[in-house]
Chain A
Amino acid sequence: QEQLVESGGGLVKPGGSLRLSCAASGFSFSDFYMSWVRQAPGKGLEWVSYIRGDTFYTNYAASMKGRFTISRDNANKSLYLQIDNLRAEDTAVYYCARFRATGFNFYGMDVWGQGTTVTVSS
């Protein structure tokens, strides 16, 4: 069964840091791009970042550059998101999701985790 399980969320004070993790199972992890998508309470989806399967390419939403760092460990089938200098507006459910893409095609995010909740508050 193809599965993604996030962890690492919690209550953090403004200015603090968190490292979110996503454990993959049931599929060939390194064959897929991996992504983080967040959803603030009552709001829509916001694409945070993604990383290619070979780890050599990463991309970030413009508003996320600088404080967010995506990484992966293919040997341990894990995805990570380091968030520094947390702000109240980072409060959200953070999902990891996989996708396939080529130079001309995007096949959609077909497997998602259940999400981990990050709350930034003093």
Chain B
Amino acid sequence: EIVLTQSPGTLSLSPGEEATLSCRASLSVSRNYVSWYHQKPGQAPRLLIYGASTRATGIPDRFSGSGSGTDFVLTINRLEPEDFGVFFCQLYSGSPMGSFGQGTRLEIK
């Protein structure tokens, strides 16, 4: 089973700053199978990015994804107060089952 490890665990930044979130896979994976989600307290996750770099419908261009092989990055430019919450990366797999990273918590100062 491929394990996804996200870093940092917590990020504390001010509005207007840039956030860089990392997701590292324990083995090389297809970038086509990597997605990113944002979850606010008490809400379901929201799809941000799929295929490592394609923004989902309605996601502002402040959010961008990149990476390949074992290292993937979610970048959030010009942070806004509503960007707080937890961000998860996800790997899809036919066999074995895919998984999520453990999450990065983004705190807005």
Is the interface on chain B under 10, 10 to 19, 20 to 34, or 35 or more residues? 20 to 34
Chain A residues within 8 Å of B103, by CB: 44-45
Given contacts A62-B1, A107-B51, whether A44 and B100 have CB atoms under 8 Å apart is yes
| Residue pair B97, A101 in contact (C-beta under 8 Å) | no
Residue-wise interface mask of B (18-50) relative to A, using a CB-CB cutoff of 8 A (1 in contact, 0 not): 000000000000101101010100001111011
Q: Which residue of A lies closest to B88 (CB)?
A: A45
Binding site for A on B (CB under 8 A): 1, 30, 32-33, 35, 37, 39, 44-47, 49-51, 56-57, 86, 88, 90, 92, 94-103
Binding site for B on A (CB under 8 A): 37, 44-47, 49-50, 59-62, 95, 97, 99, 101, 104-110, 112-115
**Beyond A47-B98, A97-B44, A110-B56, 8 extra complex contacts between A and B, CB < 8 Å:** A50-B97, A59-B95, A99-B92, A105-B33, A106-B50, A109-B35, A109-B47, A115-B44
